[in-house]
């Protein structure tokens, strides 16, 4: 109890001491907060995107089988389905028809897809919000396409997707199989790839091996692999952002060092008076420790909260292009707020820990100042 | 190398910790060479002031070591999804030959930093810095280990390749793996329980004896050290099994996962607290002989002994809770 009271007195003294030098401390606090804000925005945003990708892939099939020719993805014959189905442990195999369509008017790529059961009539399409927003030549709810042969083709918009699935469906156009084949020129008996559902997840690698033996020109891709790639990708992106920010962070630490070393005459006098009043070196160190802690924690809290607002309430306007990828069609989507203690711990060790270590030597230099020399010098 | 923010933070932290430890050790070398308490020279006064700098650096380093120890294990756990076959930190640490050595050196450093700080605290109780030479010799050794830790940690993250197929707790901590952990898991749980509780009782008994008579500090200290090491073996052998309620899962890392309410944090914190305080009792008691601390240090030693015993009791309680209150019966299998 006595110890706690002592620390509270130190804290009280530190706060009043900080308030006496508002200008200098607010400048430091502002720069520190900006550093925390930028780093935490990167962390929060990439983690939220990673979680979003994981949530989307949760529903995807365990395996995708693609055919490759000369190392490039090629159309897969539908008859391969029968061969794959003969392998034990496989629940179902489905041929998928999908592709991309470049629309010159909007200068953007759209994703075309044939769903398992297309519920609208022939000559219609179901589209994402981003398509309606960007198509450009939308007239009477009809989308004009140019088929592979150069002929014109129109599809009536039969419906749009809900906003909750924006991230995946914004640039998506769903249509019937016949419309898809006519538009893209994909021959009958071929599909883009095959999806395989597997009963026991643990059997995936063995089944993948069997497929490569049975059909040597194919490449099975496991869901686990895609998840792993996404995890690496987002880690890599946020890692690079932080490496790029290193210069700014380093500048901040040099600024901190300068601030802590270049004490004003007032501050030197304050320490000298305290020491001549009977304060010991450890007392000054504790006071300076509290000073650092107050600035660090305030900057940490404000920076992290501002980053939370920036990422989860305003969709991170500062970073979205760097982090999401190249596509410009993505709507203003809201990410599910996902902040874990682990992220905060990483943020803490990227900002507060270096700050604390860097200020130790200047703090010690202040604490061992000879009061007599300071007072005589100032006089 | 995998470039995630956590890994960058760990590498940055290890460089800073290693750098500051080296800086402190340079001051330590000067102190060892030129320290003369009877002198009133400027050099001596400067060195006396520098002892405050070194102890401040080491106080911070201990805090960071604790923080980085848990962050290291948690990061290893977090990145397990990047490796084929890894299900928790056990798999991530096995992806290359730097993982487990890093962890062992990290734990050792944390324990040594704790002991150093307590010796330093005792040293300030004497009017003539009685433990200064021993303290700074120990500091040089710890600084070397901290640099080694930084090298191993950077090596671990640098040689990480995400497409690697690793072995995880299922095989690393299984009875047929043929390594030290396999030996630990294969030990009969009943015998381990007997030794664990016997060790706990003996540690507490020697602690009470020391508190009552002021004698037997070394015995208590040895018991506390032995109990810390044996407890780590017990966690792998039987304590973790009760938390997982699985007779085959011996992983000491899964305990920190959310599914087990992060009970591992409390378990390891109390274990290390008990071990560090307990070992410090013996170290300080041994060093105080023939110095100015002879009379003034007893209260500190009693407090440390009491703290160590309390931490071990808390650790024992956490370890025993599932044994008594869960439906899982290990010996039934």
B179 — pLDDT class (breaks 50, 70, 90): low
C-alpha to C-alpha distances, B124 to B52, B60, B304, B309, nearest whole angstrom: 10, 18, 16, 24
Residues present in chain A in total? 379
Asked if A350 lies within 8 A of B162 by C-beta distance, the reply is: no
Chain A CB contacts of B6 under 8 Å are 342, 346
Q: Which residues pair with A191 in a beta bridge?
A: A76
Query: Which pLDDT score is estimated for B167?
Result: 60
Residue scoring higher pLDDT (B153 or B96): B153
Q: Which residues pair with A218 in a beta bridge?
A: A67
- Segments in A197-280 forming alpha helices (H): 204-214, 223-261, 265-276
Residue A116 pLDDT exceeds 70: yes
Query: Which pLDDT score is estimated for A366?
Result: 81
Query: Which pLDDT score is estimated for A338?
Result: 78
Q: Which long-range contacts (CB under 8 A, 24 or more apart) does B171-175 make?
A: B172/B90, B172/B91, B172/B94, B172/B251, B173/B90, B173/B236, B173/B249, B173/B250, B173/B251, B173/B252, B174/B248, B174/B250
Query: Which pLDDT score is estimated for B289?
Result: 72
- Give A176-195 pLDDT, tens digit per residue: 999 999 899 889 899 999 99
Residue scoring higher pLDDT (A298 or B185): A298
- B282 and B305 in contact (C-beta within 8 Å)? no
Residue A330 pLDDT exceeds 60: no
**Cβ-Cβ contacts under 8 Å for B143 (sequence gap 6 or more):** B21, B22, B24, B25, B28
Cα B333 from Cα B326, distance rounded (Å): 15
Q: Dihedrals φ, ψ of A300, to 5°?
A: -65, -45
Asked if A360 lies within 8 A of B57 by C-beta distance, the reply is: yes
Query: Which pLDDT score is estimated for B178?
Result: 58
Query: Which pLDDT score is estimated for B270?
Result: 94
> Which of B8, B17, B162 lies at the smallest CB-CB distance from A228?
B162
- Give B38-51 pLDDT, tens digit per residue: 888 888 888 888 88
Query: Which pLDDT score is estimated for B223?
Result: 93
Query: Which pLDDT score is estimated for B97?
Result: 84
Chain A CB contacts of B16 under 8 Å are 353-354, 357
Residue A256 pLDDT exceeds 90: no
Nearest to A10 by CA among A292, A291, A357: A291
Nearest to A291 by CA among A4, A9, A7, A11: A11
Least confident of A122-126, A354-358, A366-370: A366-370
Residue B122 pLDDT exceeds 90: no
A137 — pLDDT class (breaks 50, 70, 90): low
**Mean pLDDT calculated for residue range B24-36:** 89
Residue scoring higher pLDDT (A43 or B276): B276
C-alpha to C-alpha distances, A304 to A32, A176, A195, nearest whole angstrom: 11, 47, 42
| Residue A126 three-state SS | strand
Asked if B3 lies within 8 A of A243 by C-beta distance, the reply is: yes
Q: Are strands A63-69 and A218-222 parallel, antiparallel or unpaired?
A: antiparallel
State the smallest CA–CA distance between residue A364 and chain B in angstroms: 6
**Mean pLDDT calculated for residue range A361-375:** 81
Residue A197 pLDDT exceeds 80: yes
Asked if B162 lies within 8 A of A345 by C-beta distance, the reply is: no
Residue scoring higher pLDDT (B281 or B297): B281
Q: Describe the crossing of helices B189-213 and B217-234 by its angle, rounded to 10 degrees.
A: 160
B176 — pLDDT class (breaks 50, 70, 90): low
> Which of B8, B17, B81 lies at the smallest CB-CB distance from A239?
B8
Chain B CB contacts of A345 under 8 Å are 67, 71, 74
Is the CA virtual torsion B270, B273, B277, B283 positive or negative?
positive
> Which of A235, A350, A367 lies at the smallest CB-CB distance from B3?
A235
Residue A325 pLDDT exceeds 60: no
Chain B CB contacts of A232 under 8 Å are 2, 82, 162
Q: What percent of chain A has pLDDT over 90?
A: 9
Residue scoring higher pLDDT (A226 or A127): A127
Asked if B52 lies within 8 A of A367 by C-beta distance, the reply is: yes
- A331 and A108 in contact (C-beta within 8 Å)? no
Residue B311 pLDDT exceeds 90: yes
Q: Dihedrals φ, ψ of A97, to 5°?
A: -115, 115
- The pLDDT mean for chain B works out to 84
Chain A CB contacts of B162 under 8 Å are 228, 232
Query: Which pLDDT score is estimated for B177?
Result: 56
Residue A5 pLDDT exceeds 60: yes
Query: Which pLDDT score is estimated for B160?
Result: 81
Residue B88 pLDDT exceeds 80: no
Query: Which pLDDT score is estimated for B192?
Result: 86
Which residue on chain B is closest to A346 by alpha carbon?
B6
- Give A86-109 pLDDT, tens digit per residue: 888 888 899 999 999 988 888 888
- Segments in chain B forming alpha helices (H): 5-34, 42-78, 89-93, 99-123, 132-158, 169-172, 180-186, 189-213, 217-234, 240-244, 263-288, 298-325
A&B contacts, CB < 8 Å = 90
Nearest to A183 by CA among A116, A113, A134: A113
Residue scoring higher pLDDT (A152 or A332): A152
B148 — pLDDT class (breaks 50, 70, 90): very high
State the smallest CA–CA distance between residue A231 and chain B in angstroms: 7
Least confident of A223-232, B251-260, B318-327: A223-232
Residue A143 pLDDT exceeds 70: yes
Nearest to B279 by CA among B205, B229, B323, B331: B229
**Cβ-Cβ contacts under 8 Å for B63 (sequence gap 6 or more):** none
Cα A181 from Cα B240, distance rounded (Å): 58
- A129 and A163 in contact (C-beta within 8 Å)? yes
**Mean pLDDT calculated for residue range A20-41:** 88
Tokens of residue B298, six digits: 């007893």
Q: What percent of chain A has pLDDT over 70?
A: 92
State the smallest CA–CA distance between residue A222 and chain B in angstroms: 12
Residue A376 pLDDT exceeds 60: yes
Residue B225 pLDDT exceeds 90: yes
Q: Which of A221-230, B7-16, B161-170, B306-315 is most confident?
A: B306-315
Asked if B81 lies within 8 A of A228 by C-beta distance, the reply is: yes
| Cβ atoms within 10 Å, residue A188 | 7
Residue A285 pLDDT exceeds 90: no
State the smallest CA–CA distance between residue A154 and chain B in angstroms: 45
Query: Which pLDDT score is estimated for A208?
Result: 87
Query: Which pLDDT score is estimated for A361?
Result: 87
Tokens of residue B98, six digits: 């730097």
Query: Which pLDDT score is estimated for A318?
Result: 77
| Residues 29-58, chain A, touching B (beta carbon < 8 A) | 39, 42-43
First vs last Cα of chain B: how many Å apart?
43
**Mean pLDDT calculated for residue range A250-270:** 80
Q: Any idea which residue has 């989308």 for tokens?
A: A143
- Give B41-83 pLDDT, tens digit per residue: 888 888 888 888 888 888 888 888 888 888 888 888 877 777 7
Chain B CB contacts of A292 under 8 Å are none
State the smallest CA–CA distance between residue A259 and chain B in angstroms: 19
**Mean pLDDT calculated for residue range A20-37:** 88
- A154 and A145 in contact (C-beta within 8 Å)? yes
Q: Dihedrals φ, ψ of B283, to 5°?
A: -65, -50
C-alpha to C-alpha distances, A55 to A52, A229, A314, B79, nearest whole angstrom: 5, 14, 21, 18
Query: Which pLDDT score is estimated for B273?
Result: 94
Residue B308 pLDDT exceeds 90: yes
Q: Which of A244-253, A285-294, B251-260 is most confident?
A: A285-294
B6 — pLDDT class (breaks 50, 70, 90): confident
- A338 and A31 in contact (C-beta within 8 Å)? no
Helix (H) or strand (E) holding A49: helix A22-58
A341 — pLDDT class (breaks 50, 70, 90): confident
Query: Which pLDDT score is estimated for B278?
Result: 93
Residue A326 pLDDT exceeds 90: no
Tokens of residue A198, six digits: 């597997």
Query: Which pLDDT score is estimated for A379?
Result: 55
B201 — pLDDT class (breaks 50, 70, 90): very high
Query: Which pLDDT score is estimated for B219?
Result: 93
Query: Which pLDDT score is estimated for B36?
Result: 85
Asked if B52 lies within 8 A of A282 by C-beta distance, the reply is: yes
Q: Tell me, what's the ipTM?
A: 0.79
Q: Any idea which residue has 């280990």 for tokens?
A: B145
Chain B CB contacts of A249 under 8 Å are none
Q: Are strands A124-127 and A152-160 parallel, antiparallel or unpaired?
A: parallel
Residue scoring higher pLDDT (A65 or B179): A65
B174 — pLDDT class (breaks 50, 70, 90): low
DSSP A263-331: --HHHHHHHHHHHHTT--HHHHHHHHHHHHHHHHHHHHHHHHHHHHIIIIIS--TTTHHHHH-S-S---
- The pLDDT mean for chain A works out to 83
Residue B200 pLDDT exceeds 70: yes
């Amino acid at each position: 109890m006595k110890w706690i009271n002592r620390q509270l007195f130190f804290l009280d003294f530190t706060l009043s001491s900080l308030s006496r030098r508002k200008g200098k401390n607010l400048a430091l606090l502002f720069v520190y907060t900006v550093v925390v804000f930028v780093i935490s925005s990167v962390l929060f945003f990439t983690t939220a995107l990673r979680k979003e990708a994981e949530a989307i892939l949760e529903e995807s099939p365990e395996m995708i089988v693609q055919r490759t020719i000369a190392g490039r993805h090629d159309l897969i014959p539908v008859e391969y389905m029968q061969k794959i189905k003969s392998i034990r442990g496989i629940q179902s195999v489905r041929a998928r028809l999908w592709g991309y369509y470049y629309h010159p008017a909007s200068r953007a790529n759209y994703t075309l897809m044939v769903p398992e059961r297309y519920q609208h009539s022939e000559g219609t399409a179901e589209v994402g919000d981003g398509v309606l927003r960007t198509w450009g030549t939308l007239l009477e709810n009809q989308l004009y396409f140019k088929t592979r042969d150069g002929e014109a083709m129109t599809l009536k918009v039969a419906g749009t997707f809900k906003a909750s699935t924006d991230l995946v469906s914004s640039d998506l156009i769903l249509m019937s199989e016949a419309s898809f084949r006519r538009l893209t020129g994909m021959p009958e008996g071929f599909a883009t790839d095959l999806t395989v559902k597997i009963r026991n997840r643990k059997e995936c690698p063995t089944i993948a091996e069997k497929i490569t033996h049975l059909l040597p020109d194919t490449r099975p891709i496991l869901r686990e692999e895609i998840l792993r790639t996404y995890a690496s990708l987002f880690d890599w992106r946020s890692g690079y952002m932080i490496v790029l920010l290193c210069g700014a962070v380093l500048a901040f630490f040099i600024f901190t060092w300068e601030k802590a070393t270049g004490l004003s005459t007032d501050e030197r006098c304050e320490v000298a008076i305290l020491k001549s009043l009977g304060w010991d070196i450890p007392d000054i160190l504790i006071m300076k420790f509290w000073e650092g802690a107050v600035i660090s924690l305030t900057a940490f809290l404000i920076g992290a909260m501002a980053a939370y607002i920036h990422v989860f309430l305003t969709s991170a306007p500062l970073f979205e292009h760097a982090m999401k990828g190249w596509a410009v069609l993505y709507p203003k989507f809201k990410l599910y707020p996902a902040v874990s203690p682990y992220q905060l711990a990483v943020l803490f060790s990227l900002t507060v820990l270096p700050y604390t270590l860097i200020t130790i030597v200047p703090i010690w230099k202040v604490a061992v100042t000879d009061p007599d020399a300071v007072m005589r010098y100032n006089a | 190398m995998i470039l995630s923010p956590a890994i960058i933070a760990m590498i940055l932290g290890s460089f800073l910790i290693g750098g500051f430890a080296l800086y402190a050790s340079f001051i330590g070398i000067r102190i060892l060479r030129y320290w003369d308490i009877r002198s009133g020279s400027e050099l001596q006064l400067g060195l006396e002031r520098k002892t405050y700098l070194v102890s401040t650096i080491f106080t911070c380093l201990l805090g960071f070591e604790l923080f980085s120890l848990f962050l290291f294990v948690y990061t290893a756990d977090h990145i397990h999804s990047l490796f084929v076959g890894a299900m928790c930190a056990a798999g991530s640490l096995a992806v290359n030959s730097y993982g487990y050595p890093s962890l062992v050196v990290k734990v050792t450093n944390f324990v040594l930093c704790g002991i150093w700080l307590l010796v330093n605290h005792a040293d300030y109780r004497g009017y003539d810095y009685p433990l200064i030479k021993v303290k700074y010799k120990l500091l040089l050794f710890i600084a070397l280990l901290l640099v080694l830790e930084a090298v191993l940690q950077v090596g671990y993250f640098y040689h990480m390749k995400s497409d690697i197929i690793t072995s995880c707790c299922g095989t690393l901590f299984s009875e047929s793996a043929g390594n030290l952990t396999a030996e630990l898991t294969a030990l009969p749980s009943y015998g381990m329980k007997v030794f664990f509780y016997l060790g706990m009782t003996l540690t507490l008994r020697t602690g009470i004896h020391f508190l009552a008579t002021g004698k037997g500090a070394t015995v208590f200290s040895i018991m506390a050290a032995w109990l810390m090491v044996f407890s780590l073996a017990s966690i792998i052998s039987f304590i973790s099994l009760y938390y997982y309620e699985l007779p085959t899962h011996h992983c000491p890392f899964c305990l920190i996962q959310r599914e087990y309410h992060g009970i591992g944090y409390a378990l390891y914190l109390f274990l290390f607290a008990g071990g560090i305080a307990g070992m410090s009792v013996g170290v300080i008691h041994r060093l105080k002989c023939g110095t100015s601390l002879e009379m003034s240090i007893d209260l500190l030693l009693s407090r440390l002994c009491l703290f160590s015993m309390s931490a071990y009791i808390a650790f024992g309680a956490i370890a025993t809770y599932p044994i008594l209150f869960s439906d899982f019966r290990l010996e039934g299998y």
